[in-house]
A = this chain, B = another copy of it.
Amino acid sequence: MKIQAERLLGDLHRLRDFGRTGNGVVRPSYSDVDMAAREWLRQRFTDAGLNATVDGVGNVFGTSPNTGPALVLGSHSDTQPRGGWLDGALGVIYALEVARALAEDSTTRDFAVDVAAWVDEEGTYTSCLGSRSFVDDLPGEVLAHANDDGETVVAALARVGLADAGRATMDLDRHIGYLEAHIEQGPYLEEAGDLIGVVTSIVGIRSTQVEFTGEQNHAGTTPMNRRRDAGVAMFEFAVRLRERFSAIAGPTTVWTIGQAQLEPGAASIIPGYAVAQVQYRDPDDDRLATLETVVSEIAAEVAAATGVMVLATRERDPILPCHMDPEFRRHFTTAAEAKVPGMWREMPSAAGHDPMVISQYLPCAMMFIPSIGGISHDFAEDSNEADIVMGCAVMADAAASILHAARSSTTPIAPRANPPGHSG
């Protein structure tokens, strides 16, 4: 496939203008700049020959005039409160450019590529709102979620004039899968000198809250051997956690204690209570289960060692690892090997993306390009122009290849509902 580099980069830069702040972008869902960007995208999708709307949840959805089997390509066009310019935007413009490239090539002009710019993947109101709408999983409690200003999704949709618009949802008779490109947001590709990452899985996330209940007391008059210091227990827990997790971690396991508090939190008072939040991510749910068990083991050890009560409570709704479609992955690895031989790798995604939602209903694939310095969710987020262009070319080849296979196949790829690993 032949993509047009100037058109691709031009559209990316034009989209960046909506909410540009320094080198970054401030374009939270349903803000004025977000809605202006969506209207611009709708027009760009229309210019590409797609039947495009801003739908009843704010998704920009462009349907190819061609009949299926169709692929949906896309990403989200909202940003973090202080976001980078490529997070989300790259995948949206890639999708648009791939649709244009296939339409312009005589061998693929009949292929159907529908293009999406999802709303609120970043969770200004609620994470992956647009993709949840697309798979028609929008219960009332999701629409009641509010942003930091207290505005609910329902109120935001009324404010931006979408309260009565219809919603674009997946069509299992037409859609055979969903593809998304994204910046890596991590350092692996750049460090390895690779240009393409073919995503194997999106990692699962589990969290355990660990509470320590000791005895609050006077920091002067209480001898060391009479103390049951909740803080001491928490510190001991944290150090043991690092030792034990290091020993059993997989190559991409990560874990973090991002929250830790002492109560009452005064210099002259022995903490009677402490609480820490342990979060751990891995593409392998079995490993996550092992890590979770280890957290409880360490909690019990620390309780025994310190005399402090330790209560480990797992989060009610962990995010399960979500696996990319093996057949789709082969099309991507073949396309990558053809374009950048030996300079690609298969890898998990350590961050969450809309395919976590969509893969519960449709086969999905994801592709990464390198992030400079691994930086993301920051104004400094960037990728090399040459890498951006190369990534789009690989994406176009993979999409064409998948659609070619689907059209040749006598048995169309079956959509799947509630595969193993579905958390709902």
Q: Which residues of A contact B (CB under 8 A)?
A: 184-188, 203, 205, 207, 218-224, 226, 229, 231-232, 235-236, 238-239, 242, 246, 249, 252-262, 265-271, 277, 279, 281, 350-352, 374, 376-377
**B266 with A258: CB separation less than 8 A:** yes
Q: What is the chain B residue whose CB lies nearest that of A377?
A: B218
Kindly list chain B residues whose C-beta atoms are within 8 Å of the C-beta of A259.
Answer: 262, 265-267
**A224 with B236: CB separation less than 8 A:** no
Q: List 24 A-B contacts (CB under 8 A).
A: A187-B223, A205-B220, A218-B351, A220-B254, A220-B281, A220-B351, A220-B352, A221-B351, A221-B374, A223-B254, A224-B249, A224-B254, A226-B374, A229-B256, A231-B257, A232-B257, A235-B238, A256-B268, A257-B262, A257-B271, A258-B266, A259-B266, A260-B260, A267-B277
**B242 with A232: CB separation less than 8 A:** yes
Q: How many Å from the CB of A319 to the closest CB on chain B?
A: 10
Instruction: Name the one of B219, B231, B266, B279 contacting A219, with C-beta atoms under 8 angstroms.
Output: B279
**CA A203 – CA B221 in complex, angstroms?**
10
Q: What is the chain B residue whose CB lies nearest that of A232?
A: B242
Query: Mostly helix, strand, loop or mixed at chain A's interface?
Result: mixed
Q: How many Å from the CB of A258 to the closest CB on chain B?
A: 5
**B205 with A231: CB separation less than 8 A:** no
**B257 with A268: CB separation less than 8 A:** no
**CA A198 – CA B376 in complex, angstroms?**
64
**CA A351 – CA B249 in complex, angstroms?**
47
Instruction: Name the one of B185, B231, B267, B279 contacting A267, with C-beta atoms under 8 angstroms.
Output: B279
Q: What is the chain B residue whose CB lies nearest that of A216?
A: B378
**A270 with B252: CB separation less than 8 A:** no
The 6 residue pairs across chains A and B that have the minimum distance between CB atoms? A235-B238, A186-B221, A219-B256, A220-B350, A185-B221, A221-B350
**CA A222 – CA B185 in complex, angstroms?**
8
Q: What is the chain B residue whose CB lies nearest that of A185?
A: B221
Kindly list chain B residues whose C-beta atoms are within 8 Å of the C-beta of A224.
Answer: 246, 249, 253-255
Q: Which of A184, A185, A188, A259 has the most CB of B within 10 A?
A: A259
**CA A235 – CA B184 in complex, angstroms?**
30
Kindly list chain B residues whose C-beta atoms are within 8 Å of the C-beta of A261.
Answer: 261
**B376 with A221: CB separation less than 8 A:** yes
**B279 with A268: CB separation less than 8 A:** yes
**B260 with A231: CB separation less than 8 A:** yes
Kindly list chain B residues whose C-beta atoms are within 8 Å of the C-beta of A236.
Answer: 239
Kindly list chain B residues whose C-beta atoms are within 8 Å of the C-beta of A232.
Answer: 238, 242, 257
Q: How many Å from the CB of A46 to the closest CB on chain B?
A: 35
